[in-house]
Amino acid sequence: MSHKISDSTIRRLSVYLRLLEDLEVEGTATVSSETLARQAGATAAQIRKDLSLFGSFGKRGMGYSVAELATRVRGILGLARQWRVALVGAGRIGSALFAYPNLSSRGFHIVTVVDSDPEKVGRRWGEVWIRPDDELERAIQEEQVDMAILAVPGHAAQAVMDRVVAAGVRGILNFAPVPLRVPEDVWLKDVNLVIEMEALSYALSQEAPD
């Protein structure tokens, strides 16, 4: 296995998986690449190619077993386990993420929250206490954190990032709209609302004479 798989392929697998789980709930037994493509907004060939990079999961003439393919894709994506996540930043975005049901329901558990605001430290969110900034490293170790979500202001992001990485975290989701530097062996994903809005701005400006 493992040529190099593109990020796009992985992201599409995540989409396919959600659709497969919906189909599973609906009780659908098998699905063709054609049907899945329609739901995913992709092409059938794309789906087959994506899947074929990891193996041969379908039956010619029949399509894919929904249950089996879902299990396979979960395995590929590393979702057969639970992930322990640290949330850094308990502001508005942080608190929205903490309560976001689609993360915990999919195996991403926020096991510790850290904030630099003394006003917030010591408060309790559900099962977890908000810990002070200077306990970041300790919290990461004690709670055996696998991934971190950075929901801190842009000017603080790189410094927090460096500490999180030094503490051993190798997967980070960043909400600060600034380019961050990470070592080669650390995975960083950015969620940047400004980019998305500005991309919309560009698109609308192209055609609308307004």
Residue 28 in contact with DNA, rule: CB under 7 A: no
Place of tokens 């697998």: 13
Residue 203: what residue type?
Answer: A
The DSSP symbol for 133 reads G
Q: Does the footprint of DNA cover residue 177 (CB under 7 A)? A: no
Verify binding: residue 158, DNA, rule CB under 7 A.
no
CA 62 to the chain's CA centroid: 32
Q: How far is the CB of 169 from DNA (least distance, A)?
A: 25
> Which SS3 state, helix, strand or coil, does residue 72 take?
helix
For DNA, the closer CB: 45 or 193: 45
34 in contact with DNA (CB under 7 A): yes
Query: Rounded CA gap, 44 and 156, in Å?
Result: 44
Task: Give the Cα separation of 180 and 49 in Å (integer).
Answer: 33
**Shortest Å, Cβ 42 to DNA:** 7
Instruction: Select from 84, 90, 201, 190 the least CA-distant residue to 144.
Output: 84
Give the residue, chosen from 25, 60, 185, 209, that forms a contact with DNA under the rule CB under 7 A: 60
Quote helix, strand, coil % in the chain, to nearest 5: 45, 20, 35
How many residues are recorded in the chain? 210
Question: Binding of a second copy at residue 203 (CB under 8 A)?
Answer: yes
Rounded Cα gap, residues 162 and 49, in angstroms: 38
Question: Which position among 2, 25, 26, 61 is part of the footprint of DNA (CB under 7 A)?
Answer: 61
Nearer to a second copy, 19 or 88 (CB): 19
Count of helices and strands (H, E) across the chain: 9, 10
* Residue 200 binds a second copy, judged by CB under 8 A: yes
161 binding partner (options a second copy, DNA, none; Cβ < 5 to 8 Å by kind): none
> 146: closest CA among 115, 184, 187?
187
The nearest distance, CB 77 to a second copy, in angstroms, is: 5
In the complex with a second copy, the residue whose CB is nearer, 17 or 136, is: 17
Site mask, a second copy, residues 34-73, x = CB under 8 A? -----xxx--------------------------------
**Rule CB under 8 A: which of 156-175 touch a second copy?**
170-173
Q: Which residues of this protein are in contact with DNA, per CB under 7 A?
A: 4, 6-9, 32-34, 42-46, 48-49, 51-52, 56-64
